[in-house]
Homo-oligomer: A and B are copies of this chain.
Amino acid sequence: MPGSSPFHAIADPTRRRILDALLAGPLRAGELAQRFPRISRPAVSKHLRVLRSSHLVFTEQRGREVWYRIDPAPLAEVEKWVQQYRAFWEEKLQALKKAAEES
């Protein structure tokens, strides 16, 4: 539990939507949960725990409220990995272009 992979953290679509919501700015736990009417608050709370454990979000306690905000730093690892494949797919696009020009 202490420090799971960002690849695992972003695998779940609900967790990605949570991060997307936080992109606009910090939110309280409850407010965040309200944005997912189809699942319960504890379910969201668990997703937040996963995001915390992978350091994709961090919290600031203000009285009884807990504010969540993004820390996108761990996504750099994901980006780096995906970028390895960029050259590959750009090659393919090049090949397609060439083929189109030759037809």
Instruction: From the candidates B7, B13, B16, B72, name the one contacting A16 in the complex (CB within 8 A).
Output: B7
- For A82, give its contact among B11, B78, B92 (CB under 8 Å): B78
Q: How many copies of the chain does the oligomer comprise?
A: 2
Per the CB 8 Å criterion, the residue count for chain A at the interface is: 26
List, in ascending order, chain B residues with CB within 8 A of A20's CB: 84
Q: How far is the CA of A70 from the CA of B86 in the complex (A)?
A: 12
Least distance between A70 CB and chain B CB atoms (Å): 7
The answer to whether A7 and B10 touch across the interface, beta carbons within 8 angstroms, is yes
A residues 48-103 in Cβ contact with B at 8 Å = 70, 72-73, 75-76, 78-79, 81-86, 88-89, 92
Closest 6 CB pairs of A and B: A11-B11, A72-B85, A72-B89, A72-B88, A79-B82, A8-B11
